[in-house]
Amino acid sequence: MATVYFDEATRIFASGQAPAVDHLTLDIPEGEFLVLVGPSGCGKSTTLRMLAGLEAVNGGRILIDGHDQKGVRGRDRDVAMVFQSYALYPNMTAGENMAFALTNAKVAKDEIQKRVAEAARILELEPLIDRKPGQLSGGQRQRVAMGRAIVRNPKVFCMDEPLSNLDAKLRVSTRSEIAALQRRLGITTVYVTHDQVEAMTMGHRVAVLRDGRLQQVGTPQDLYDNPVNTFVAAFIGSPSITLIESPVHDGVASVHGASVPLNRALLAGATDSVVVGLRPEAWRLVDAGTQNAVDLRVDLVESLGSESFIYGVPVDHSAAGAGRPADDADVIGLGGGSRGQRITVHAGKKVRPGVGDVVRIACDPDEVHLFAADTGERLTA
């Protein structure tokens, strides 16, 4: 177990190019499971590779247990990496694959046997230990790759999208296995994914990157409840938050014609327009005649058994729009996988409008997230 500290760590691949990782400062305590998440190309893998010593650091430092890793080769860092591709040797058995790094490091034979047996037991690989990778399923190969990292008993685990090659069902079961295993072993872990559901369910804390820059780090719930900007708000949460740029008059926002009173303390400094963020649970279905609500033309209903999500586009009742769905320009989606063109409503299992129906919805003003229209930053008192 070890602490990891990124201190303004920066990686620039070519001069004139924007940094792949830009002044990253991140303090990871002993035993933490930290998930690095963000869209493709935001610098997640580069961050991990810098920590593992596979990539140079052009500015700042990386400390492991307080020691600057500058000049320390990857193999001397005591960091074990698990890759998306597993990278198993096809001509070796599962057991030999797991033992390989220890054999190379000239660890005593009986010690190797002991560690491989222990890893095989933890990962329930004992019956498969003599099989070659070609005779294993994707999930089993993934566990061998984990075993190869575990036997090294490293200070830090670095995992780069280790579940990407698994089918959807296996991903769900394996992600809980990895999270449980990490808690049991207590080894400081940095885990890279672009999948926000993995980020929300696996880590103690989640760090969100965008264009090489850290946007926010916090517990999954904190990121969900208090996103620092529209990017994090849109990236975290599934289905996505709806972000709507709304005019403000006298402390009241107009959301598709419905008036939403805003927290005036938050509006100090804001101009005449804000971005209102509403997660699916902030909306509720109301009776057709209800005042101060929005008509939504349903274009998709996702029923998950115990609950459902209703997706739709607000109907424009203005003279110009007369009953048509509102223009896309009325609703903004700010990247990060946002489905921002539409409003999503969380509903119970009994409510099942049909596609094309118009339902009336109202939002809870207490559930509103507020962001500055010009910068996208969260408005705080």
Regarding 196 and contact with ligand ATP (CB under 6 A), the answer is no
| Closest separation in Å from C-beta 9 to ligand ATP | 13
Q: Write the binding mask 137 to 176 for ligand ATP: x where contact by CB under 6 A, - elsewhere.
A: ----------------------------------------
**Quick one: residue 165, left, alpha or beta (phi over 0 = left, psi -120 to 50 = alpha)?**
alpha
| Closest separation in Å from C-beta 278 to ligand ATP | 28
Regarding 10 and contact with ligand ATP (CB under 6 A), the answer is no
**Stretch of residues binding ligand ATP (CB under 6 A), selected from 33-41, 116-124, 244-252, 260-268:** 33-41
**Stretch of residues binding ligand ATP (CB under 6 A), selected from 38-46, 129-137, 289-297, 299-307:** 38-46
| Closest separation in Å from C-beta 215 to ligand ATP | 13
Size of the site for ligand ATP (CB under 6 A): 11
Q: Which amino acid is at 327?
A: D
| Closest separation in Å from C-beta 335 to ligand ATP | 14
**Stretch of residues binding ligand ATP (CB under 6 A), selected from 24-32, 35-43, 262-270, 355-363:** 35-43
Regarding 45 and contact with ligand ATP (CB under 6 A), the answer is yes
Which is nearer to ligand ATP, 45 or 182 (by Cβ)?
A: 45
Question: In this chain, which of 7, 12, 31, 41 binds ligand ATP, going by CB under 6 A?
Answer: 41
| Closest separation in Å from C-beta 315 to ligand ATP | 38
Question: In this chain, which of 8, 13, 130, 251 binds ligand ATP, going by CB under 6 A?
Answer: 13
| Closest separation in Å from C-beta 42 to ligand ATP | 4
Which is nearer to ligand ATP, 51 or 178 (by Cβ)?
A: 51
Regarding 37 and contact with ligand ATP (CB under 6 A), the answer is no
Question: In this chain, which of 77, 115, 152, 194 binds ligand ATP, going by CB under 6 A?
Answer: 194
**Stretch of residues binding ligand ATP (CB under 6 A), selected from 41-49, 72-80, 104-112, 328-336:** 41-49
Question: In this chain, which of 2, 4, 9, 20 binds ligand ATP, going by CB under 6 A?
Answer: 20
Which is nearer to ligand ATP, 44 or 141 (by Cβ)?
A: 44
| Closest separation in Å from C-beta 80 to ligand ATP | 19
User: Rounded to 5 degrees, what are φ and ψ at 27?
Assistant: -110, 115
Question: In this chain, which of 44, 143, 297, 378 binds ligand ATP, going by CB under 6 A?
Answer: 44
Q: Which three-class secondary structure string do you get for the chain?
A: CCCEEEEEEEECCCCCCCCCEEEEEEEECCCCEEEEECCCCCCHHHHHHHHHCCCCCCEEEEEECCEECCCCCHHHCCEEEECCCCCCCCCCCHHHHHHHHHHHCCCCHHHHHHHHHHHHHHCCCHHHCCCCHHHCCHHHHHHHHHHHHHCCCCCEEEEECCCCCCCHHHHHHHHHHHHHHHHHHCCEEEEEECCHHHHHHHCCEEEEEECCEEEEEECHHHHHHCCCEHHHHHHCCCCCCEEEEEEEECCEEEECCEEEECCHHHHCCCCCEEEEEECHHHEEEECCCCCCCEEEEEEEEEECCCEEEEEEEEEECCCCCCCEECCHHHCECCCCCCCCCCEEEEEECCCCCCCCCEEEEEECHHHCEEEECCCCEECCC
**Quick one: residue 38, left, alpha or beta (phi over 0 = left, psi -120 to 50 = alpha)?**
left
Cβ contacts of 53 within 8 Å, gap of 6 or more: 69, 72, 73, 74, 75, 76, 77, 79
Regarding 46 and contact with ligand ATP (CB under 6 A), the answer is yes
> In the complex, which residues of this chain contact ligand ATP (CB under 6 A)?
13, 20, 38, 40-46, 194
